[in-house]
Structure 1
Amino acid sequence: MAANAKTRSRHTVYLLGNVTGEPILGAKLPTVGQALSFFYWKLKEDKVSVRGSAAATVEEVAKTWTRANLPMCQVKHSITRVEKFYESWRTLQKGAKRGGPTQKKKEEEFQATLNQTLDLRHQDWRTLVICQEDRVFLQDQFSERRATIGALDKTFEKKMKRKADKVAAEDARKKKEAARKSFSSFGAVAESSDSDSASSTNSSSSEYEGASPPKQKRPINIIFPEVAASLDRTKTTDRMAVHTIAAISRAQGVNPEELALNKWTINRSRRAHRTQVMEDLQAEFAETVNGPLVVHWDGKLLPDLMGTGKHEKVDRLPIIVSSSSREQLLNVPKLPSAAGHAMADAVVASLKSWRLTDHVKAMSFDTTASNSGVRGGAAVLIEGKLGRDLLFLPCRHHILEIVLADVFKSLFGPTSGPEIPIFKRFKEKWSFVCRDRPEEGALDKETAVILAGHQDLKTAALEYAMETVEQDHQRDDFRELLELTIVYLGGVPPRGIRIMAPGAMHQARWMAKAIYGLKIFLLRSQLKLTVKETTALRVFSLFVTLVYTEAWFRAPQVLEAPLNDLNLFKKIRSFYAIDAETSKIAAEAMGRHTWYLGEESVALAFFDPRVPSETKREMAAALKTEMDGRPPKRPKLGDPASLPLPDLVTARSKRFFEILGTEVGWMEKVPDDWVDDVSFQTAKKVASALVTVNDRAERGVKLIQDYNALLTKDESQKQALLHVVTEHRKRFPNANKSTVAAASTSTSVVH
């Protein structure tokens, strides 16, 4: 038998010595060292979480405390104490390599602690421990630790059992008496209601004699799906919900006692609702997909609330799909790393779990190396995992961010910190600035000369800004950039001239650079700027207003992407007459991102109404050349002003239509007749469903940022929570009364 016995292996751990996962045995209360040894084995060898390891350790230690008949503190407090010892050990472990007298002293103090009894005593142990022998034993365990747990006292055990039986009998008697009183009052009511007939009364009394008392009315659960979704969206905790619902019920004349109103019931209802929403969405979306899908993703480094350390972070990857009529969040999984293969694995796994792999035709992503690398990029790897070609739709906003960042760096120089010095100074001086006295660009003599020499650029930029500012904008800074452009070029925005207070500013906020630069130049006479700063701001403001603003606001227009990129190249080249270095830097940045002038994506221009019919005819003729087996390539543009669209189209451009599954027979007709062809209309509708910006993934990033540390730490519940919030936002895009009233009559998965 001994030969077949299995024992766990052991190994030596820093400060803890030999660690095994064996049960904690002995006739004394467990020490800190024994508890940490058991905890470490659970954590590292059994791969249990920190909280789970602490709970298992407390459960193991409690066996000895129960055998000694000693009261312990609540389990949650016991777990916290074990975790604190582990955190102290981790802190020492991190500083072990540094050494030094202070580190050595701390290690010696900690080792002394390991031999002490793990203190899990109840705070009222002095009153709870009645037996003098137990009291002496407990006090000894926290001093000299000489006493041991003796054999089981049969007499004492019988005494405690009699005491427990006595208490149980007393509780049963009280319940029976309460039921009798309730039954008596019920019988009295029945007797008074039947007082017209004595025989009827006697019959009724005999009928109730020996019957069970009436059951207590069950509390009403008001955490309906819509209530649960509203609580999740508003980030209301279970405890906060108790107070809120109780106050509302009292205001409506409802006694909170009649409601199932406690944090546990509310939590169970919310968890069940989240799970149901997630299941319903997965079942329904795959069945109702209409047309090709675009998959979006974007990563974000966030605190890992389920990690083993307080300050650990993990990459989260919002994954979203979109079609012509719908947008759907799939998952926001944690990644083992930010590498391309990790992102590709997560995206493909999400598509498979939602049964969408056959519907995805294109990918939208930022142009970072981990996404767009030719070998290890996520986009290429996703194609390989799915076993077919997909359209690459890099975010044009991200491309323009790179252009502006390069221009800004060339004018103002590199900055090592998260803040930009000139913008930081402006923000500090804001309270002393008279914002009602902005000076348009033309009031600067050098700027006036430049604008006079490029009147066509100025007029086109001002007209476009005036037209676009009247539209609805999702974000206030979008409108603000347009209004500042109008003011700089000498116009007056519809809302009047106003300079808003400076907002958040750091290296990642590309639009803030444009907004800050324009504000500072408009208020330049009130600020102490150096000649170098003034010159840099002058060129930067001209580039933003004449070249950049229109390009950014045209970026989401998918069918116009190829021609817009060519026009942007032409504007950048024309800026050479204003500042040669800035034009060169911007052209080089755009030259690295000619995605939408590539052989496949350039086919979008077939549906651009601005492209002349003769140009489209030449493009259609270019498709008829023989296609080779090489992969698609992006052009290296020399002088884009002289590069026509037909020169960018090749036989490889047919892959665009093959991937989307659309016909190309309409190309045999004259381009003027395309609009009347049904197959052309279908192809145009499919192409219009594509996207050239990755704003959807950015909204997913904001969603996980807002809810990462809220309401739940359970990963499955976290994913379900994000879906509940997303669906509720779709149904209630704002808090207007008209929106709430109109949506209350519609159906939604939130129900």
Structure 2
Amino acid sequence: MAAATAARSRSATEVWLLGQPEPNPCWGKQLPKNGQVLRRFFHFVRVQRKSVKEAASLVTAEVAVVWEKARIPTQKKSRCVERILRLYASWQNLDRSKKRSAEVDVENRRSFSLALMTLFDIGHADAFDLITVDEDRQFLLGQRCPDGPRCIMQGVDQSLADRERRRLERGVLKRSSSPERATTATRSSSGLGAGDEEENGGDDGRDADFVPSAGISAQSACSPKRRRTPIMTPPVAAALDRTRISDRTAVHLFTAVHGADATPARSTVRRHRRSAREKMAKEIKAEMTVNVPAVPLIIHWDGKLVEGMAGEGIAERLPILVSGDGIQKLLMVPKLAAGTGVLTGQAVYDAAKEWDLVDNIIGMCFDTTVSNTGLKEGACVHIMKHVKRNLLHFACRHHVLELVVGAAFTVCFGPSSGPEIQLFKRFVKWWPLANQASSKPLDDPVDGADKIIATCHALLKEKQPRDDYREMVQLTIIVLGGEVEANIRKPGAYHRARWMAKVIYTLKITLFREEFALTKHEKRELIRFTTFIVTTYVEPWMSAHCSTSAPATDLALLKALAAYRDKEIGRASGKVMARHMWYVSEELVGLSLFDEATVVEEKRAIVSAMQQRLGEKNPPRRADVALDAVEQRSLASFATTNSVGLVTALGAGHDFLNVDPAEWSGRDDYTTARRRARHLRVVNDFAERGVALISAFCGAITRDEEQRQHLLQVVERHRALYPCAK
């Protein structure tokens, strides 16, 4: 009976994902882990009935004692409390969805459980600089090791403790103004004033043999003068770099905040910023090497003519980035003599080699320009020559879809005659006269309008990477006669290379076609092009970022273009799409195996086609799709033995191909491969962020090319840590 009662009691107090709360701190000879801290936190909350903030404060005090005993400087107490509260908030979010069995929920619980076994790291940002004993640095490195703690705390270094005690005594003696005060201070510091200690409350909560840490607080306590807090710390330097503040402007800011006497000279500010920039860039590179030992990566690039600082002129810049399995990282943005495929391929390979990522690269994501895709001199060919193996070709799907809509626009409005589109230019001038209430949807009903509106409303509930994507979806709903809580925005900038802006302009002009002066031809072609956008183009564009659905979506789009009722538009845009069916190629059609929308029968057919000639080694070919025969084609008709290459490249094994697809969901190798396949980026918008970064900072702060690369690394990291000013 007693055993049953104890079992019920333990069950009642057990915390989901954590186990029993910790009634006593049991850190041992190592720094506490996240799980230990959270279990101790729950003891204060559930057993001692403390408030959440009070419990976090109490746990912080206990953890700080252990870190102080290890002689490692720590962050402020408020930040440590915030860290515990964030851990608790993460647990609460998982607790609310613990009955869900979706893959994302299972993955979140698994990630949280792994995080519980890692160090509860409250170390100071400059801990390695502040620690004076190398053994203490090695101890901290061992505790932070992802494989588990490698060091433990031993007994007190008596020699070091004696030196610090004598130094403390000398400091007290120097500050004493009379022999009597000096004698009293000496007796107190040497332990002779025990009566005073007992009178003040006795033990302060630390161990008897504890020696104060060698951080800032210990140094200031035994120094005759108060140590000045440094102004140019690495976080300050990073903030100055992100906000593009020059050295001279920084001096003025420091003078206003700290006073002229405490402000360093401009040359000192410049020297410290360069040093901090270089140090942070090395740390970022070292972290990247540790985080991606066996993660398959996609390498991205996108050339851009960028103007540098005064006197540097315009130069070809090539942002090079990698992505995969939750990793998004800018490598570098080198300057090229020209944007040829040879120089681009060499620069991409050099960047991957410098970051030691050549073996991780399994594919390339690029815009479908001749300099990238040329059979002999394209950048892709030269990159594969350098790495000496075949790489997967992930052509940017947004770039392909821009070519498709460009072909339809040319059919309706004719070829371009200059850098500006006169219809759009007129609309910008007319806009101040527009009346929002006079907007009018399409007159003729559109087939499947209700389904399109429902799909668009579902897209609005998701987070969109760009505001113009959301605006296009909102305008589509309004054009089809649906309702949306948004005003029609003022027309923005547009460029012939960015078709998204042209689609948005067309939808807006269609809505105001009764007020805006249009010829009969312009109005007819405007409605013709708008109908194509809302019925055929919007949905493929918004789903273009999804890698696993890319083969099915592209094949469905080609079939829709072949069957489009406006034969002229369908034929022109269909021919463009047929030339860019990258994702139904022999290599990439295997992405459909990881798409939830692909039915089991289709997966069986794909696997069967992959295994029919298994063992043959033929070079992979691009998909050959005839527009008039595309209706009879299925995904399985594109699969060959080369399709196994994609599954192999994901690095999770392909034994699941020998099992029926209905049983794949319970296998670890398939689950890992599916997660990595979903993280593959099939749009090159990621590289455009690198273009925006170099465009903003190429003409700011420094002329030194090495420092400029360090600057980009620091700014990218700072933006990731602090995405907004909230």
- The TM-score normalised by the length of structure 2 is 0.67
Q: Which residue of the partner structure matches residue 515 of structure 2? A: 526
My pick for the range that moved more, 483-492 or 368-377, is: 368-377
Secondary structure at 1:623 match in 2: helix
Provide closer, same or farther for how the CA distance between residues 416 and 312 of structure 1 changes in structure 2, counting only shifts above 3 A.
farther
Cα offset, 1:346, TM superposition: 0.4
Match of 2:251 in 1: 242
The verdict on how the C-alpha distance between 1:191 and 1:398 changes in structure 2, with shifts beyond 3 A counting, is closer
Aligned residue in 1 for 2:460: 469
**1:293-308 matched pairs, under 5 angstroms:** 293-305=297-309
What is the match of residue 345 of structure 2?
Answer: 344
Q: Given the alignment of the two structures, is residue 270 of structure 1 paired with residue 279 of structure 2, yes or no? A: no
5+ unaligned residues in a row in structure 2: which ranges?
1-173, 182-222
Deviations 1:613-646 (Å, cap 9, x if unpaired)?
1111111111122234233222223332221111
**Which of 695, 700, 704 pairs up with 1:714?**
704
Residue 733 in structure 1 maps to residue 726 in structure 2: no
1:419 match: 420
1:476-519 residue CA offsets vs partner (Å, 9 max, x unmatched): 111110000000011011x24x1100000121221110000000
Distance 2:469 2:678 in 1: 23
1:224 aligns with 2:227: no
Secondary structure (helix, strand or coil) at the match of 2:326 reads: coil
Aligned residues: 508
Measure the CA separation in 2 of the matches of 1:355 and 1:640: 43
Aligned to 1:358, the other structure's residue is in SS state: helix
Question: Which whole-Å CA distance do the structure 2 matches of 1:711 and 1:647 have between them?
Answer: 56
Q: How far did residue 587 of structure 1 move?
A: 0.3
From 668, 671, 677, the counterpart of 2:667? 677
Report the equivalent of 1:556: 545
Aligned pairs (5 A) from 1:358-377? 358-377=359-378
Q: Give the secondary structure class of the aligned counterpart of 2:611.
A: coil
CA contact (8 A) 1:597 1:635 kept: no
| Alignment-derived partner of residue 355 in structure 1 | 356
Equivalent residue for 2:692, pick from 702, 710, 727: 702
CA positional deviation for 1:410: 1.9
Aligned-partner Cα distance in 2 for 1:606–1:726: 35
Structure 1 SS opposite 2:356: coil
* Matched residue type, 2:509: I
- Measure how far apart 1:667 and its partner are: 2.1
Secondary structure of 1:500's aligned partner:
coil
Matched, 1:693 2:683: yes
Q: How far apart are 1:544 and its partner, in Å?
A: 1.0
Q: Which residue of 2 aligns with 1:620?
A: 607
Are 2:638 and 1:648 aligned?
yes
Letter in 2 for 1:303: E
1:608 is aligned, of 585, 588, 595, to 595
1:297 is displaced (CA, Å) by 0.5
2:345, 2:383 within 8 Å by CA — same for their partners in 1?
Answer: yes
Distance 1:195 1:616 in 2: 91
Q: Does 1:597 align with 2:584?
A: yes
Aligned to 1:540: 529
Residue 139 of structure 1 corresponds to none
Distance between the aligned counterparts of 1:438 and 1:475, measured in 2? 24
Structure 1, gaps ≥5 residues long: 1-189, 198-213, 250-254, 737-751
For the 8 Å contact 2:298–2:680, the answer to whether it is kept is yes
- Alpha-carbon offset, residue 311 of structure 1: 7.6
- For the Cα contact (< 8 Å) 1:221–1:260, is it kept in 2? no
Provide the residue aligned with 1:440 in structure 2.
441
Task: Give the conservation status (yes or no) of the 8 Å contact 1:220–1:260.
Answer: no
Q: Deviations over 1:220-251 (max 9, x none)?
A: 531111111011111111121122222233xx
Task: Name the SS of the counterpart of 2:345 in structure 1.
Answer: helix
Whether contact under 8 Å (2:309, 2:700) holds in the other structure is no
Identical amino acids, percent of aligned pairs? 37
Letter in 2 for 1:482: V
- Offset of residue 304 of structure 1: 4.5
Tell me the distance in 2 between the aligned counterparts of 1:724 and 1:686: 28
Q: Would you say the 8 A contact 2:648–2:654 is kept in 1?
A: no
Q: Deviations over 1:677-728 (max 9, x none)?
A: 2222122122222111111100000000011100111100110000000000
Aligned amino acid, residue 300 of structure 1: K
Structure 1 residue 194: Cα displacement:
5.2
Is 2:517 the counterpart of 1:516?
no
In structure 1, the residue matched to 2:283 is 280
Alpha-carbon shift at residue 293 of structure 1 (Å): 0.8
- Check whether the contact 1:406–1:585 (CA below 8 A) recurs between aligned residues: yes
Q: Which amino acid aligns with 1:461?
A: I
The 1-side partners of 2:403 and 2:176 are apart by: 87
Distance 1:685 1:471, change over 3 A: closer
Partner Cα distance (1:396, 1:724) in 2: 30
Moved more, 702-711 or 471-480: 471-480
CA distance in 2, matches of 1:397, 1:477: 14
1:85-96 → structure 2 map (5 Å cutoff): none
Please tell me the residue identity of whatever aligns with 1:531.
K
Q: How far 1:219 moved relative to its partner?
A: 6.8
Shift of the 304–248 alpha-carbon distance from structure 1 to 2, 3 Å rule, reads closer
Shift of 1:461: 1.8
**SS of aligned partner of 2:420:** coil
Task: Say whether 1:479 aligns with 2:470.
Answer: yes
Superposed CA offset, 1:719-747 (max 9, x none): 000000000001001110xxxxxxxxxxx
Equivalent AA in structure 2 for residue 232 of structure 1: D
Residues 309, 703 of structure 2: 8 Å contact kept: yes
2:410 aligns to what? 409
What are the within-5 Å matches in structure 2 for residues 43-58 of structure 1?
none
- Checking the alignment, whether the CA contact within 8 Å between 2:175 and 2:224 is kept in structure 1 is no
In the alignment, which of 500, 503, 506 is matched to residue 495 of structure 2?
Answer: 506
The within-5 A match list for 1:136-175 is: none
Quick one: structure 1 residues 678 and 530, their matched pair in 2 at CA, closer, same or farther if it must change by over 3 Å?
same
Q: Which amino acid aligns with 2:591?
A: L
Question: Contact 2:324/2:676 (CA < 8 Å) preserved in 1?
Answer: no
Is this contact kept in 2: 1:566–1:641, CA < 8 A? no
4+ residue stretches of structure 1 with deviation over 6 A?
214-219
Residue in structure 1 matched with residue 159 of structure 2 by the alignment? none
* Matches of 2:332 and 2:521, distance apart in 1: 49
RMSD: 2.3
User: Within 2, Cα distance between the matches of 1:239 and 1:217?
Assistant: 28
Partner of 1:571: 560
TM-score normalised by length of structure 1 = 0.65
Find out whether 1:724 has 2:711 as its counterpart.
Answer: no
1:413 Cα shift? Answer: 1.5
State the match for 1:396 in structure 2.
397
Which SS does the other structure have where 2:239 is aligned? helix
Shift of 1:305: 4.0
Q: Decide whether aligned partners of structure 1 residues 256 and 597 sit closer, same or farther in structure 2, where only a CA change above 3 A counts.
A: same
Secondary structure in structure 2 of the residue aligned to 1:524: coil
